[in-house]
Structure 1
Amino acid sequence: MTQQDQFGFRNYDLPKEVERHQTATPQANYTDPKQFEQELDSVFESDWVMVGRVGMIPNPGDYFTAQVGTKPVIVMRQSDGSINAMGNFCLHRYACLLEGAGHTKRIVCPYHHWTYQMDGALIGVPDRVGFEKDALQGLKLVQLSCDTALGFIFVALCDDLDPVAERLGDLGDLIGNFGLANYEDRHVVHEEHWDGNWKLLIENFIESYHTTYTHTGSIGPTNPTNLAEFGPWGAPGFAIHSNSYREEDLPEIYNPNLTEDEKRRFYVISLFPNGLAAVDANFVWWMALEPTGVAQTNARWGLSYAPQTMADTADANAFCATIRDVIETATAEDKEMVQRVQKGASFGTQTPGFLHAPLELNIKEFNNYLAQKIAGEEASC
């Protein structure tokens, strides 16, 4: 099946297997602490979790910290150029080793100065004679599965999962002409706290019904709801649609590999379970979600830019600043609505709401993925 065949059902046409009547998940899905704990266990601690972009740590010794489910982790560029993920705790008495993002040639515990190489191998223990010698031989920080795809970094607590590229299936081909792995990662926000359940951020991002009505100060006028396009239904690892540009608002395109369809599309992608990416010819706006409570989420997010755009636009810094301003406005608009949904869901009605077909069908795909994970139909640790 060609890319053109895979993408672009419009005018509310639906795949044959999809019914018009779709219901939303109950309000308790966003407020129940037991449901939240189950998601941390069955999803975040049993699957690949997106944590950021490879360009955030370009040099050996560059690192950032993240949360995978309830587990604190370190993501670090190694001396050979590879990326490693490790448990963020000292093997001595468990102190958190690193915070935020930065650069270091050694990982030194701030508590008692146990010292580790970049790969996590223990190389220094003050007053070592106070410990039984053999007990400290060959110790290394807990090593976690780490993989990359499309320029994004994924970490898993399991060691038996299929590679990320394999589970994303056709997505790499579908957006291959963009060269997303080569986009320059120029802006990252590590802490963006939202007062809402993590699933509300996913659902808000991947439906186009709200675009015209919520984003009046940002992308609503240029990428209206009525130009949304949808493509392949039922993929196991992702959901995708396009908030396409109006013809009069098409940006200048610097990538010669794109088709006419690709030039107008602003692809909106959910990388299950917690990754989000909005991709156009010149930039990608991405988020990696970290649930911190049943109604609290940290959204690590950033903006990455096509290298052709950075090379050929008249003023790359001004272009980046303009995009950042638009996205920051869009983020503020989304945050207000996510908070409103969280507040409304606290009523606790048992009567489910509705999903628009097709404008909110990607929510259905996401919920299908969650149901399978929680039911144990996918690989788990």
Structure 2
Amino acid sequence: MKPSLLNNQFFKDLNSSVLPIEDAETLPPGCYTDAEFYEFEKEAIFNHEWLYVGRESKIPEAGDYFTTSIIGEPIVIVRTRKGEINAMSSVCQHRAMLVAEGSGNARSFMCPYHHWNYSLDGALLKGPAMEKTCNFDKADVQLPTFKVEIWLGFIFINFDDQAPPLAPRLEAVAKILEPYDLANAIGPNADPAMKFPWNWKVMFENNNDGYHASRLHGGHYHDFIPSALCSFPDMPEDTAGYCRLNGTLHKDASFNASQRALLPIFPNLSDDDRNQMLFANIPPTLSLVLTNDMVFALNVRADGPESHEMDVELLVAPGAMDNPAFDDCIAANMATALKIMDQDQHVDEMVQIGLRSRFAVRGRYSWQEGAQQQLNSWLVPRYQDCWEKNDVNLGGTKAPITRCDDTTAICNETDV
């Protein structure tokens, strides 16, 4: 039987992943492959952090809804008659059939199996033929509801009803994103979600990695944004996100054959803004790639230790979609973006295979991989807190862990 990965030494050893970039090393391979660690991670991360589910503009009218799934939990997001956004489990409280699939507009959610009918707030309106059931009161039945917060037009939910607000911990990120006015950005409907056979962190690490840009993507479609011009702004200790800035070789660069913005640029961008691209991550579910004329919003949803789903939403400046050539411009941008994404996705799949190998080690970082250390600095304290709190019983001997910031001696012990 395979021994458990989870023990005090494992979590203590994570300290070396949050050292300054010149001393840090990667997370252990088991963090990306181990089924037991994934179950632990669901409690440490996904059950208590804010999770991106979609844009507010997807449900403009009362009754509009869409469905999604994160860590295997089916969720429905709906705009109520009062105009509020409600997030609920879509699992019927009778026999676990899903009460909503896909997207659309509804006056209520009727389970197709036995016709239990729920309001847009999740209250049971009717349960047919239940009059002979002892001690049954429909007033006691409610679809589980989740906390909701809107940030720059992005809908986030939280399974933890005691979770602190998200926005105060994203003030530094919001300041960097401010010129894009994302709350008012618009875009076409997202394509159907794609499923990928690699861990969600592999996707996150690749999305914000400055190191590979001039290597993997070297060539005409990407050489205007060289790795050597990347930088990683410092963030507050309690930040819920982080960014990479990457200078470009010319103004208003964009991912298409011309290397130039084809759509109207976001109107509030300064000259400095127009000579760089921006990458922002709000783990564990939202990754943004911001060019001067278009934003790629990647909704990453873990669904297993070595798999996740992702859909990509495109955002543009207000009025850009009125351009008669809008569809052609989007097609030109996406033709190049898809070539780049194909390269990324092949690498991500091969990395996941490599992480399963007995020869996979904890590697060292280049200075151009600062975002990886920032992700580690977000993850590791949450892993260690969860282990110490003994919130989950996953075996091993638990005791207080000496953190990297508790004593310099521990940091030195983990230096390579």
TM-score range, shorter chain: 0.7 to 0.9
Counterpart position of 2:347:
337
Normalization by structure 2: what TM-score? 0.81
Name structure 2 gaps, 5 residues minimum: 1-18, 254-259, 393-416
Counterpart position of 1:306:
317
Contact 2:22 2:365 in 1 (8 A): no
Deviates more, 1:132-141 or 1:154-163: 132-141
Q: Match of 2:38, SS?
A: helix
Match of 1:232 among 234, 239, 245: 234
Does residue 254 of structure 2 align to residue 245 of structure 1? no
1:176-214 per-residue CA deviation (whole Å, 9 max, x = no partner) reads 121011111313134211111111000001111111222
Contact 2:62 2:79 in 1 (8 A): yes
Normalization by structure 1: what TM-score? 0.87
Larger Rg belongs to: 2
How far 1:350 moved relative to its partner? 6.2
Q: Match of 2:101, SS?
A: coil
1:74-112 per-residue CA deviation (whole Å, 9 max, x = no partner) reads 111222222110011112122122222232222110110
Contact 1:56 1:185 in 2 (8 A): no
How far 1:362 moved relative to its partner? 0.9
Q: Which amino acid aligns with 2:37?
A: Q
Q: Match of 1:137, SS?
A: helix
Change (3 A) 1:108 1:150: same
Q: Distance in 1 between matches of 2:206 and 2:236?
A: 19
Match of 2:331 among 318, 321, 340: 321
Match of 2:280 among 269, 274, 277: 269
Contact 1:218 1:327 in 2 (8 A): no
Q: Distance in 2 between matches of 1:320 and 1:257?
A: 21
Change (3 A) 1:90 1:260: same
Contact 2:247 2:277 in 1 (8 A): yes
1:245-295 per-residue CA deviation (whole Å, 9 max, x = no partner) reads 321645265433221111122210110222101123322101122112211
Contact 2:24 2:364 in 1 (8 A): yes
How far 1:139 moved relative to its partner? 2.9
Contact 1:41 1:69 in 2 (8 A): no
Change (3 A) 1:326 1:59: farther
Counterpart position of 1:124:
126
Q: Match of 1:130, SS?
A: coil
Change (3 A) 1:320 1:58: farther
Change (3 A) 1:285 1:218: farther
Q: Which amino acid aligns with 1:242?
A: L
Does residue 22 of structure 2 align to residue 20 of structure 1? yes
Counterpart position of 2:8:
none
Q: Distance in 1 between matches of 2:217 and 2:314?
A: 18
RMSD: 2.5
Q: Match of 1:185, SS?
A: coil
Contact 1:211 1:219 in 2 (8 A): no
Deviates more, 1:217-226 or 1:292-301: 217-226
Q: Which runs of 4+ in 1 moved over 4 A?
A: 216-219, 377-381
Q: Distance in 2 between matches of 1:284 and 1:218?
A: 20
Q: Which amino acid aligns with 1:58?
A: P
Q: Distance in 2 between matches of 1:53 and 1:219?
A: 29
Q: Distance in 2 between matches of 1:55 and 1:326?
A: 26
How far 1:219 moved relative to its partner? 4.8
Structure number with the higher strand fraction is: 1
Counterpart position of 1:3:
none
> Percent of counterpart pairs with the same letter?
25
Counterpart position of 2:401:
none
Q: Match of 2:82, SS?
A: coil
Q: Which amino acid aligns with 1:283?
A: M
Counterpart position of 1:151:
153
Counterpart position of 1:178:
180
Counterpart position of 2:213:
211
Q: Distance in 2 between matches of 1:279 and 1:90?
A: 39
Q: Distance in 2 between matches of 1:59 and 1:221?
A: 43
Counterpart position of 1:348:
358
Q: Which amino acid aligns with 2:29?
A: Q
Change (3 A) 1:124 1:340: same
Q: Which amino acid aligns with 2:250?
A: E
Change (3 A) 1:76 1:218: farther
